[in-house]
Chain A
Amino acid sequence: MTALVEVKGLDKAFGGVHAVEGVSFSVEAGQVYSVIGPNGAGKTTLFNLITGLYTPTKGEILLNGESTAKLEPNELAERGMCRTFQQMQICMNMTAIENVMLGRHLQLKSSLFTTLFRLPSLRRNEAAARKRAAELMEYVGCGDYLDAEASAMSYGALKRLEIARALAAEPKVILLDEPAAGLNAVETAALEDLIRKIADQGTTVMLVEHDMKLVMGISDRLLVLNYGRVLAEGTPEEIRQNPDVIAAYLGG
């Protein structure tokens, strides 16, 4: 059985800084796989490499057995990968629901001709996309904001909106970079439920998160990074008992 995401000997250097160094691991389909580590450990860089925003200095990433070396982020999206960002990336020049509908870009191919004349087929597809987007916004818990301008939404709602947009793409694997950052306890609990629901529907989840309670409760496996290198890899139980992790990261 091939892994859904396989990372082999990955290196990324920015000038003299090795943000990611010799990182290998693999994620099986259906898992919740978390990446943890202190600030600056290279977690976001790792996600940027996996999603094609950065080019590795060395090493290889396989998605479903296919090398992603020559693929642009949008081509990875075509192969079922989508993500959210630690620094939220919302299109503030659109309404909330349009942001989510943007997530359905790959499902909504229409020719320029159909578009310019707004033919019935386009209207039907748009209506269906809108309905689906509204359902997703309800699902992630920002159903109150449908036609609000994105710029008028609260931080917590925008974080959920970004997840809805990623889900709209119907990804096989979704990467969430610190989705709980800046959320209060109630919102974090809701987020945990949401991630569970996403995983239960069969979507593979890769998660970067500092909230240990959330991560330990939800993950099938964890990768611990420190200064760009792998400190440990395993189930939450194994990580909790790993002496290196205890010494370097969990602090005692």
Chain B
Amino acid sequence: MLNTFMQSRLRGLVILALILVILPAFLGNPFHYELVTQMAIIAATVVGLNLLVGFAGQISLGHAGFFGLGAYFTGIATGTYGWSSVPALVVGAIVVGAIAWIVGRPILRLKGHYLSMATLAVGFIIAIILNNERALTGGPDGMPVPAFEIFGWELSAFGRYSLFGITIEGFQAWYIFASVVLLVAVWFALNLIESPIGRALRSVHGSEVAASVVGVNTAKYKSLVFVISAIYASLMGSLYAHFQGFITPAVASFEFSILFITMVVLGGMGSTFGVILGAVVLKLLPQVLADFQELEHVMFGLILMLTMIFMPKGLLPTLTAFVSKKMRKKAGGEA
């Protein structure tokens, strides 16, 4: 029975859930919780980006733009106009999805460097708008965002809540919330990949002509996955804004876009759990190397380059291949 479980398609998801359940035992203070909650939100974003980059073989160097749009839509709708969080998040995702569809149709005809440049430009334009629309966004100084609110109930990192008779701190509640969101994001991604739609997406990567002659409308599927990944980014941007309580245009910046892509490439393009590992490593790295903060961007560039040269499949797939090779060797030795 354990065996069938280990081969089942949800194995990874169950392992991730276990890790998320056990993890609090190792989290000493609110700062740790904050870091891990950010990790989960960013990880869910790159799980969405990986659908576009890892599975459909397209690229977006402007994905922080969609993340930032989601964050600011939530910030403005809840902060300035007093919307409730859930409608803000949903309407924001629909608006961002529509924007992604409109810009995606023409630019996804481009390939390689041209597509990189076009998506880069999309990210830049969004960042510039967020910087310049001071009346709406507060400009470069940023804007405060109210706590996440649902049915009049507020989820604040500084609150204190009673859950099934147990009192938990706000940052712990956020950790639970973000964990559930990550698990759902991963579950959706896994379901999507292993479906007719997912095969069509992967075939766009594998061979666009093969896809088209068996009836896949490649342009439609590229747009679809671009929109889906933008919606992932928008939703996570919205949550990020609530969690941080304050946002600046940095959330839509080029640096953030590159960080996302580096997480995907480092963790393993086309590996849903790999890119989560990528997010964890790249969120941890600046903590470990706090003394080299000004070199952060150089470091990310270096990581991106070194991964592509020495570990093109990414961290997790390379590790799994290594481990299974070792195990095979061992099994072979015993036989």
The verdict on B196 contacting chain A, using a C-beta distance below 8 Å, is yes
Inside 8 A of B205's CB, which chain A residues have their CB? 91, 93
Inside 8 A of A126's CB, which chain B residues have their CB? 194-196
B197 & A110 in contact (Cβ 8 Å cutoff):
yes
The complex places the Cα of A82 from the Cα of B210 at a distance, in Å, of: 10
Interface residues of B: mostly helix, strand, loop or mixed?
helix
B200's partner among A78, A105, A122 (CB-CB below 8 A) is A105
A53 & B209 in contact (Cβ 8 Å cutoff):
yes
The complex places the Cα of A137 from the Cα of B224 at a distance, in Å, of: 30
The verdict on A148 contacting chain B, using a C-beta distance below 8 Å, is no
The complex places the Cα of A82 from the Cα of B200 at a distance, in Å, of: 16
A89 & B188 in contact (Cβ 8 Å cutoff):
no
The verdict on A85 contacting chain B, using a C-beta distance below 8 Å, is yes
Inside 8 A of A72's CB, which chain B residues have their CB? 212, 217
The complex places the Cα of A233 from the Cα of B191 at a distance, in Å, of: 51
B202 & A74 in contact (Cβ 8 Å cutoff):
no
The verdict on A92 contacting chain B, using a C-beta distance below 8 Å, is yes
The verdict on A136 contacting chain B, using a C-beta distance below 8 Å, is no
The verdict on A115 contacting chain B, using a C-beta distance below 8 Å, is yes
The verdict on A169 contacting chain B, using a C-beta distance below 8 Å, is yes
B197 & A112 in contact (Cβ 8 Å cutoff):
yes
A90 & B210 in contact (Cβ 8 Å cutoff):
yes
23 contacts between A and B (CB under 8 A): A73-B212, A74-B215, A76-B213, A81-B213, A82-B214, A90-B207, A93-B57, A101-B199, A102-B214, A102-B216, A105-B196, A105-B214, A105-B215, A106-B214, A106-B215, A109-B196, A110-B195, A112-B197, A112-B224, A115-B197, A116-B191, A117-B191, A165-B210
How many residues of B are in contact with the other chain, CB < 8 A?
Answer: 28
B199 & A82 in contact (Cβ 8 Å cutoff):
no
A91 & B210 in contact (Cβ 8 Å cutoff):
yes
Inside 8 A of B212's CB, which chain A residues have their CB? 53, 72-74, 77
The closest CB in chain A to the CB of B9 belongs to: A118
B217's partner among A74, A82, A112, A168 (CB-CB below 8 A) is A74
The verdict on B121 contacting chain A, using a C-beta distance below 8 Å, is no
The verdict on B270 contacting chain A, using a C-beta distance below 8 Å, is yes
- Count, A-B residue pairs, CB within 8 A: 105
The verdict on B103 contacting chain A, using a C-beta distance below 8 Å, is no
The complex places the Cα of A115 from the Cα of B214 at a distance, in Å, of: 20
B216 & A105 in contact (Cβ 8 Å cutoff):
yes
The complex places the Cα of A117 from the Cα of B192 at a distance, in Å, of: 9
B213 & A51 in contact (Cβ 8 Å cutoff):
yes
A85 & B216 in contact (Cβ 8 Å cutoff):
no
A73's partner among B196, B206, B213, B270 (CB-CB below 8 A) is B213
The verdict on B281 contacting chain A, using a C-beta distance below 8 Å, is no
Interface 1/0s, chain A 75-98, versus B by CB < 8 A?
011100111010001111110001
Interface 1/0s, chain B 170-214, versus A by CB < 8 A?
000000000000000000100110111111101101110111111
The complex places the Cα of A85 from the Cα of B213 at a distance, in Å, of: 10
B197 & A91 in contact (Cβ 8 Å cutoff):
no
A115 & B195 in contact (Cβ 8 Å cutoff):
yes
Inside 8 A of B57's CB, which chain A residues have their CB? 93
CB B159 to nearest CB in A, in angstroms, measures: 31
Inside 8 A of A83's CB, which chain B residues have their CB? 213
